[in-house]
Amino acid sequence: SDNNSISVALVMIIPLAYYLAQHTQRRIVRYAMYALIALSGIAVLGSHSRGAFLAVSVMSLYLWTKSRHKLLLGVLVLALLPVAMLAMPDNWKERMGTIRTYEQDSSAMGRINSWQTAFNIANDRPLVGGGFELYSRETFARYAPDPEAVHSAHSIYFQLLGEHGYVGLLLFLALGITGWMNARRIVRTARDQPELEWASDLARAIQVSLVGYAVGGAFVNIGYWDLPYYEIVILMTVWSLIGHPNAPAAARAVAAEATPSVRNPRPEPAFGPASNRASPAEGACARTGSGARDLVAIDRWRARDNNGRPDGQDRTARRTDV
């Protein structure tokens, strides 16, 4: 709804777009994702959002620490950063400069006043907080150090603290920590397993996205925005698929093997008696290797196939391919 919220949203989708670019088989989609990343980065810088600028900076630092090419990335950043700074207008530089001199910025001081208000509300009502949408003149008149400076929380942490107390804030933080730990478990489980590379890359991308949300959200009122919750659910789902102790690596690769087998089924012979062909049940038996259990399925398929023949003969014995 404002430049700060939109810029944090753009920060969060950058690592997800990069994941899609790395795993798509279509060149046009890959180029589209790279274009999305570039345009999102330009939009974040052009939004004049200090929170988004800090989010991009911390997210880039985190990516650098996890990169296998630290020296190369470091040289590229040092080479491109001065050029990017020269290209930015003076009002942008002045806006970012207020990060260090926030005491002289009325907007920053208004946010600090809102944070202190949320802290006072939580101290007064630690279990349940003040409820949704509590930032009104009446609330500020009772709890704010400066009752005249009425602002929203401008922070996901103080938003949850003021509206739901310490219990709500702890639950909110627990969700984020749970998602982060699931991502770490996914990366650890998928290590040295090429068939699970997609899961590892997805978990890393969501980790980076959550870093952007954790930093950028400290200055934006988006505690109920749905994307980070979707990402946490995605991590839980992926972990449930690959992290089960009874699911070995070969079983986890079934989905990857099934797709080409469906798109390119094994052709049947064009000539020869149909009795020499493998029935659907026999094919299932061969694929699963489940032994005697599948032989029962074969008998049932043959019985159903021969049912209703006028001369009682085996249908598969009489039919030939033309």
Quick: pLDDT tens for 259-270: 343 334 444 444
Report the distance separating Cα 143 and Cα 162, nearest Å.
11
Sign, CA dihedral 156-16-180-236, equals: positive
Q: Which of 96-105, 128-137, 152-161 has the highest mean pLDDT?
A: 152-161
Domain range for 283 is: 276-307
Indicate the number of domains in the chain: 2
Same domain, 179 and 291: no
Report the distance separating Cα 316 and Cα 105, nearest Å.
86
Residue 300 resides in a domain: yes
Residue 69 resides in a domain: yes
| Among candidate residues 221, 242, 263, the one where a domain is terminated | 242
51 vs 23 pLDDT, higher one:
23
Same domain, 8 and 147: yes
Same domain, 227 and 283: no
Over residues 217-238, mean pLDDT? 91
pLDDT value, residue 204:
92
Give the whole-number percent of the chain exceeding pLDDT 70. 67
Residue 295 resides in a domain: yes
Q: Which of 20-34, 53-67, 154-168, 293-307 has the lowest mean pLDDT?
A: 293-307
pLDDT band at 97 (very low <50, low <70, confident <90, very high): low
Residue 262 resides in a domain: no
pLDDT band at 174 (very low <50, low <70, confident <90, very high): very high
Kindly tell me the burial class for residue 26, based on how many C-beta atoms sit within 10 Å of its own C-beta (0-12, 13-18, 19 or more). exposed
- Does the pLDDT at position 300 exceed 70? no
- Does the pLDDT at position 272 exceed 60? no
Sign, CA dihedral 29-31-35-40, equals: positive
Within 8 A by CB and 6+ apart from 148, the residues are: 140
Residue 267 resides in a domain: no
Same domain, 233 and 289: no
Residue 42 resides in a domain: yes
Give the whole-number percent of the chain exceeding pLDDT 90. 25
| Among candidate residues 224, 242, 260, the one where a domain is terminated | 242
Find the angle CA(35)-CA(42)-CA(51) to the nearest 5 degrees: 130
| Among candidate residues 242, 263, 286, the one where a domain is terminated | 242
Residue 265 resides in a domain: no
Same domain, 190 and 236: yes
Same domain, 230 and 280: no
Same domain, 50 and 127: yes
Same domain, 160 and 280: no
What average pLDDT does the structure give for the chain? Answer: 75
**pLDDT tens digits, one per residue of 76-96:** 777 777 777 776 766 666 666
- Does the pLDDT at position 178 exceed 90? yes
Same domain, 86 and 172: yes
Report the distance separating Cα 116 and Cα 190, nearest Å.
44
Same domain, 127 and 177: yes
Residue 43 resides in a domain: yes
Same domain, 297 and 201: no
H or E element, residue 121: helix 106-124
Same domain, 231 and 280: no
Q: Which of 115-124, 133-142, 278-287 has the highest mean pLDDT?
A: 115-124
pLDDT band at 181 (very low <50, low <70, confident <90, very high): very high
